[in-house]
Structure 1
Amino acid sequence: MKATIYDVAKEAGVSIATVSHVINGKGKISRERREEITRIMVRMGYKPSMIASALTGKKTYALGLLVPDISNPFFAEIARAVEDEGQRHGYSVFICSTDNKDEKVEHYAELLRQKNVDGVIIGTGMKELTVLDPLLNGGVPIAFLSREFPTAKVPSVVVDDYAGGAAAAEHLIALGHRRLAVLAEEESVSSSRERVRGFRQTLAAAGIALDQTDVRMSGLKESMDRALELLGRADRPTAIFCCNDMLAIGALRAAKELGLRIPRDCSIVGFDDTVLASVTDPPLTTVAQPIDRMGQAAVQVLVRLIEQPEARSERIVLPPALSIRQSSAAWAGNR
């Protein structure tokens, strides 16, 4: 039998009105007491009627999360972190995969507005900010996660992508690599642009050129083909920096297809440090993102915005960390 508001009130030792105030974010109730009652609601499985709340203009205790592809381990781990933190605050989460396509972003933005969600976390790439108009014009609070849009005054939680790209470059330079290439995501993905920028500028500071032909844009499905193009050249790179771990796995597959030994014939460095990075063959050197902290921070920022609409926009930048495994080594020419 489903728990009711009466059951929650009895368990918490408060009135029904107090539980209602907690649900709707009203009343003079301490933060500690609100969190205690919210935990009781979660434990008892009590869910206020979303339809009834929407019809009365009250909170629905639902959030939206837009990601490019939930099958990508990075976004699967992000989604879990968001879901867990959302639940801690009493929110359910709708997860939508957009494939980084503006038309899908716009479709889901309108759908979530119609569902009267209390806020939306944007973790997807987009070419035009206008695709979020259904949310922005509808007064729905939003926060960016692992993405940014310079012209938007919207709170964001990101890793220092530039520093991550720079760290990958420094690692490969220290190993003696001078002929390098990059597998990047689509231009609409701001995090990938920053990683490439950090990588390129660090190489330039060391006197190493990275031509535009050395940078290949790729979706996940085409990553092996783009890596084959790079590794099949007469002047093939001795190292490839991949802007996420899934692209790096495509590069590992391409190397195997060509009979190349990793890292002896080519070093490969990824970005994310998902669960897959430690089980590839060989295990993947990658720039680690603090995935759990990112998901938690995005929910916390959005909840603050929901509760305090006039609050100043926050930009939280978390540091990356290079995780060195067996897919990178000194260039054979230096041995």
Structure 2
Amino acid sequence: MAKVTMADVAKEAGVSKSTVSQYLNKRYEYMGHDTKKRIEEAIAKLGYQPNFLARSLKQKRTSTIGIIVANIMHRFSTEVSRSIEDFFHEHDIHAIVCNADDNPKKEKKYIEMLRAKQVDGLIIFPTGKNIALYESMIKENYPVVFMDRKIEELNVDTIAVNNKESTYHAIKHFIEAGHEQIALITPPLTISSRIERVEGYKQALSDHNLTLNPDYLKSVEIPAIQSELDKMFSLSKSPTALLAGNDLVLLEVLAFLKEKGIKVPRDLSLIVFDNLSFAHISEPTITAIIQPAYEMGKKAAELLLAQIMKENVTTPTEHIFEGRLIVRKSSEGYLFSK
């Protein structure tokens, strides 16, 4: 059976090939409703499938972009990816999502693979360890946007939340409730967002004349968190408040507290820096610093599309969004005397 061509569709609809091409590329400005309807019906009747490869060669674009997330297990990453995919779906551009596991070698492999597939641009949660590769993309004017992490020495559009300020407000919330023994646990300080959260923690303590206790500040791999918590809560003065640096840290904290019979908020006030699907329905409900993930993803997508289309391109800059402290029951109930 012969392959149905654009010429066949044009003949069936009684229009020119160029009109069918305009229809397929959604250039409807000067196309009447009846014409669009005839082309649509002709495509359905003949079972026409556009040749996307030929279109890509003609347009010098593949209508595909790549998203390289650091860890797809984080809800923030999935929300951002969903937002990006939604945006590009509306523009008939496909999105490929790759999970780098915060591994520089894996990240490099995905960047090279996606570029070999000639995707039109990349949105990356960078590990920060492939500087030469990032620089080469920037030098080539290849469309790229960084998400969540800043690489200070690079001139690239970057989307992030105000990590330092958001953490500062969370620690201040603890202090205003009467806490002095305040802990922070994060994964290793290998990326800007974690470093900034630690900076916000230290600044809040300093501004409120509280001494930094190094035993209350831990930045370790996820599997080591419960062991560090065991040491922390074996101290003569254990923490009365704790900020979990992200959602995966929180899960380890909750598992530890359950095993040790430590009750929230009676024995420990708790806040998490991350978006949680269950924060408002857990018992107790969990106080959280919420990142506007969907809005951040949309902004990243807009910036990338502008670079791809070479329209409304501005000087690369950092776009900083505000985190919101949503106070719930887990940070209430401080029953200790000063």
TM-score tier after normalising by the smaller chain length: 0.7 to 0.9
CA contact (8 A) 1:63 1:119 kept: yes
Instruction: Find out whether 1:171 has 2:173 as its counterpart.
Output: yes
Unmatched runs of 5 consecutive residues or more in structure 2: 30-35
Of 72, 76, 79, 1:77 maps to: 79
Q: Name the SS for the 1:229 alignment partner.
A: helix
- Counting aligned pairs with the same residue, the percent is 25
CA deviation vs aligned residue, 1:152-194 (integer Å, no higher than 9, x gap):
1000111111111111111111111101111112222211111
Q: Judge which range, 124-133 or 271-280, deviates more.
A: 124-133
Q: What one-letter code is carried by the residue in structure 2 that aligns with 1:327? A: S
- Give 3-state SS (helix, strand or coil) of 2:329's partner: coil
Matched, 1:247 2:287: no
2:325 corresponds to: 322
CA distance in structure 2 between the aligned counterparts of 1:208 and 1:108, rounded to whole angstroms: 45
Task: Indicate if the aligned counterparts of 1:74 and 1:272 stay in contact, CA closer than 8 A.
Answer: yes
Match for residue 207 of structure 1 among 209, 217, 220: 209
| Structure 1 contact 249–280 (Cα < 8 Å) conserved | no
- Report the CA distance between 1:134 and its aligned residue: 6.4
CA contact (8 A) 1:159 1:318 kept: yes
1:272 matched to 2:305? The reply is: no
Q: Is the 8 A contact 2:66 2:114 kept in 1?
A: yes
The answer for the alignment partner of 2:192 in structure 1 is 190
State the shift of 1:142 in Å: 0.7
- What letter matches 2:89 in structure 1? Q
Q: Distance in 2 between matches of 1:280 and 1:223?
A: 22
Pairs aligned (count): 318
- Alignment partners' CA distance in 1, 2:318 and 2:331: 33
**SS of residue paired to 1:143:** strand
Q: Using a 3 Å threshold, how does the CA distance of structure 1 residues 91 and 47 change in structure 2: closer, same or farther?
A: farther
Pick closer, same or farther for the CA change 1:50–1:244 going to 2, 3 Å. farther
Provide the TM-score with structure 1 as the length reference. Answer: 0.83
- Residue 265 (structure 1) shift: 1.2
Report the 3-state secondary structure (helix = DSSP H, G, I; strand = E; otherwise coil) of the residue aligned with 2:320: strand
CA distance, structure 2, for counterparts of residue 282 and residue 207 of structure 1? 30
Check conservation: 2:144, 2:156, Cα contact below 8 A.
Answer: yes
Deviation of 1:293 (Å): 0.5
What SS does structure 2 have at the residue aligned with 1:203? helix
Select which of 82, 88, 91 maps to 1:89: 91
> Structure 1 residue 261: deviation in Å?
0.9
Q: Deviations over 1:17-60 (max 9, x none)?
A: 4357779xxxxx98xxxxxx9xxx9xx9x996564456567111
Q: Residue 308 in 1 paired to residue 310 in 2?
A: yes
The verdict on how the C-alpha distance between 1:134 and 1:277 changes in structure 2, with shifts beyond 3 A counting, is farther
Cα gap change, 1:5/1:154 in structure 2, threshold over 3 Å: closer, same or farther? farther
CA contact 1:228–1:255 (8 Å) conserved in 2 = no
**Conserved in 2, the CA contact under 8 Å of 1:264 and 1:331?**
yes
Does 2:106 match 1:104?
yes
Could you tell me whether the CA contact under 8 Å between 2:56 and 2:63 is conserved in 1?
no
1:138 Cα shift?
5.5
Structure 2 distance, partners of 1:149, 1:4, is: 48
Structure exhibiting the larger radius of gyration computed from Cα positions: 2
Hey, what's the Cα distance between the residues in 2 that align with 1:170 and 1:4? Answer: 66
Counterpart residue type for residue 324 of structure 2:
A
1:37-48 maps to which residues of 2 (within 5 A)? none
Counterparts in 2 of 1:217-228, with a 5 A limit? 217-228=219-230
The question of whether the paired residues in 2 share the 8 Å contact of 1:164 and 1:320 is answered with yes
Task: Give SS of 1:18's match.
Answer: helix
Q: Give the drift of 1:221.
A: 4.1
Q: Does 1:297 align with 2:299?
A: yes
- CA deviation after TM superposition for structure 1 residue 128, in Å: 4.1
Which residue identity lines up with residue 256 of structure 2 in the other structure? A
Instruction: Give the structure-2-normalised TM-score.
Output: 0.82
Work out whether residues 5 and 19 of structure 1, in 8 Å CA contact, stay in contact via their aligned partners in 2.
no
Cα distance change, pair 131–100 in 1 and its aligned pair in 2 (3 A): farther
Aligned to 1:26: none
Structure 1 residue 198 displacement after superposition: 1.2
What secondary structure sits across from 2:243 in the alignment? Answer: strand
CA distance in 2, matches of 1:130, 1:212: 35
Q: What corresponds to 1:282 in structure 2?
A: 284
Q: Per-residue displacement from partner, 1:262-293 (whole Å, max 9, x unpaired)? A: 11111111012221322434221110111111
Q: Name the counterpart of 1:33.
A: none
Given that residues 162 and 194 in structure 1 are in contact (C-alpha distance below 8 angstroms), is that contact kept between their aligned partners in structure 2? yes
Letter in 1 for 2:19: S
Equivalent residue number for residue 22 of structure 2:
18
The aligned amino acid for 1:319 is E
- How much does 1:120 deviate? 0.6
